[in-house]
């Protein structure tokens, strides 16, 4: 779940924000927002929260626009208002995108009405969510024996479970059962799988598996909202349906982050690298220690169980399934800054979700039992979002 920022991202953002829209106003703005959040260098959970706020404001703008208003102007104003409040450091890029969008609206009265509707919708969304962050100082307590050194790098968002969810009744609503016992067959099975496939050297991974693991090293919102874009660009869709799709997907993603960090810090389960280097202490005869084992992908600074990527993928997948229903199959696709020039594609949602989970095993970051539990959590959250946000479409 590390927010990897690459130099080409900033350059790409300038070109993208200046380019004419190639899709409807919802998908076009979502792409711009993804670049703006990447340039703001937010970590993954804060960026996911910001994206959910922007997409919810966008839906509000579309739903509240009067008949004589420009929906394009309303969407632009909602995005601008929300983004300036959330990432003021990116004001110049936000204003550039906003002015370019308004310049394409030639009816002055419709433009003014749309801007007013969008600004009201964004203000209402921000006000409604003003108390969603935990109050009080961060007080994470490192686990250590008195006098013993532990790594002192700060952990990621230890207070995230104190946030107010969009959809769930509480952060712990979908908290899973504890990880399997270290004496269990499941533990030995999944330990040996990741030890064999997830290492930096001497691994049994294929070249394709290595490519997928590196691709999914990135976790900021665009890697998932681009999958949503695959659906939004299908023929026959309208602005309102796409606004609901993006709002449902990003609210599900944000609740997924709340849920996964609640469970992570509740269980504080060790990462594979820790387990493999200390296997002589786990009490299981079927797990052999490797003193020099390291994962292919660097570890993020939070506990292993559950998996952030797996819960994000499955929450988005559940929303897409609910939106598409029994309609024609769509090819899902996305790109990643950690695998430049590569586009990964899937013929169905299940293949997409499965690859994300497998990639975290191949990257040496998560045990299979963790990805399985995370997929169940994400599916439940995505179904909540579908019922509460997509429901008017069906």
Q: How confident is the model at residue 329 (pLDDT cuts 50, 70, 90)?
A: confident
CA atoms of 61 and 279, how far apart (whole Å): 55
Give the pLDDT of residue 136. 83
Of 317, 329, 382, 341, nearest in space to 167 by CA: 382
Give the pLDDT of residue 299. 94
Assess contact for 77 and 122: CB atoms under 8 A: yes
Mean pLDDT for the stretch of residues 335-354? 96
Has residue 320 got a pLDDT over 90?
yes
CA atoms of 358 and 353, how far apart (whole Å): 9
Of 249, 157, 219, nearest in space to 359 by CA: 219
Has residue 394 got a pLDDT over 50?
no
- What are the CA-CA distances from residue 173 to residues 185, 192, 254 (Å)? 28, 31, 14
Q: Is 16 or 274 the better-scoring residue by pLDDT? A: 274
| % of the chain surpassing 70 pLDDT | 93
| Predicted confidence (pLDDT) per residue in 188-209, tens digit | 999 999 999 999 998 999 999 9
Has residue 291 got a pLDDT over 70?
yes
pTM for the structure as a whole: 0.92
Mean pLDDT for the stretch of residues 147-155? 90
| Predicted confidence (pLDDT) per residue in 42-59, tens digit | 999 999 999 999 999 999
Backbone torsions φ then ψ of 335, nearest 5 degrees: -125, 170
Give the pLDDT of residue 392. 61
Has residue 300 got a pLDDT over 90?
yes
- For 92-125, b/e burial (b = at least 16 CB within 10 A) is ebbeebbebbbeebeeeebbebbbbbbbbbbbbb
| Predicted confidence (pLDDT) per residue in 372-393, tens digit | 999 999 999 999 999 999 976 4
Assess contact for 22 and 58: CB atoms under 8 A: no
Task: Give the CA-trace dihedral at 194, 195, 198, 202, to 10 degrees.
Answer: -150
Region at 3 (left for phi over 0; alpha for psi -120 to 50; beta for the rest): beta
Has residue 14 got a pLDDT over 80?
no
CA atoms of 57 and 123, how far apart (whole Å): 8
Region at 364 (left for phi over 0; alpha for psi -120 to 50; beta for the rest): left
Give the pLDDT of residue 164. 97
Has residue 311 got a pLDDT over 70?
yes
- What are the CA-CA distances from residue 72 to residues 86, 100, 116, 173, 376 (Å)? 21, 11, 12, 37, 37
CA atoms of 36 and 59, how far apart (whole Å): 19
Give the pLDDT of residue 233. 93
Give the pLDDT of residue 327. 66
């Amino acid at each position: 779940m590390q927010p990897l920022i690459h130099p080409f991202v900033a350059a790409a953002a300038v070109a993208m924000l200046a380019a004419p829209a190639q899709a409807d106003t919802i998908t076009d703005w979502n792409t711009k927002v993804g670049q703006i959040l990447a340039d703001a260098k937010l970590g993954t959970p804060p960026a996911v929260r910001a994206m959910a706020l922007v997409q919810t404001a966008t839906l509000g703008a579309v739903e509240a626009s009067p008949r004589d208003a420009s929906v394009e102007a309303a969407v632009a104003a909602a995005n601008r208002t929300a983004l300036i409040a959330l990432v003021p450091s990116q004001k110049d890029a936000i204003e550039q995108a906003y002015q370019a969008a308004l310049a394409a609206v030639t009816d002055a009265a419709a433009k003014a009405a749309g801007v007013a509707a969008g600004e009201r919708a964004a203000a209402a969304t921000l006000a409604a969510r003003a108390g969603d962050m935990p109050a009080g100082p961060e007080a994470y307590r490192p686990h250590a024996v008195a006098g013993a050194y532990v790594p002192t790098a700060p952990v990621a968002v230890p207070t995230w479970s104190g946030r107010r969810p969009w959809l769930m009744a509480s952060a712990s609503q979908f908290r899973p059962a504890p990880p399997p016992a270290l004496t269990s067959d499941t533990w030995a099975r999944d330990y040996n799988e990741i030890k064999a496939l997830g290492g930096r050297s001497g691994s049994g991974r294929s070249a394709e598996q290595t490519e997928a693991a590196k691709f999914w090293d990135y976790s900021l919102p665009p890697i998932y909202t681009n999958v949503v874009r695959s659906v939004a660009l299908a023929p026959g869709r309208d602005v309102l349906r796409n606004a609901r799709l993006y709002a449902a997907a990003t609210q599900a993603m944000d609740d997924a982050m709340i849920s996964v960090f609640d469970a992570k810090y509740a269980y504080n389960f060790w990462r594979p690298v820790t387990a493999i280097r200390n296997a002589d202490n786990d009490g299981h005869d079927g797990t052999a220690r490797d003193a020099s084992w390291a994962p292919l992908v660097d570890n993020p600074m939070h506990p292993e169980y559950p998996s952030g990527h797996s819960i994000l993928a499955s929450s988005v997948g559940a929303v897409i399934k609910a939106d598409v229903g029994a309609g024609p199959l769509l090819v899902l696709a996305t790109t990643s800054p950690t695998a430049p020039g590569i586009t990964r594609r899937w013929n169905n949602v299940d293949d997409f979700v499965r690859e994300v989970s497998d990639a975290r095993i191949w990257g040496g970051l998560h045990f299979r039992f963790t990805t399985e539990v995370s997929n169940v959590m994400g599916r439940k959250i995505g179904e909540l979002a579908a019922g509460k946000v997509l429901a008017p479409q069906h």
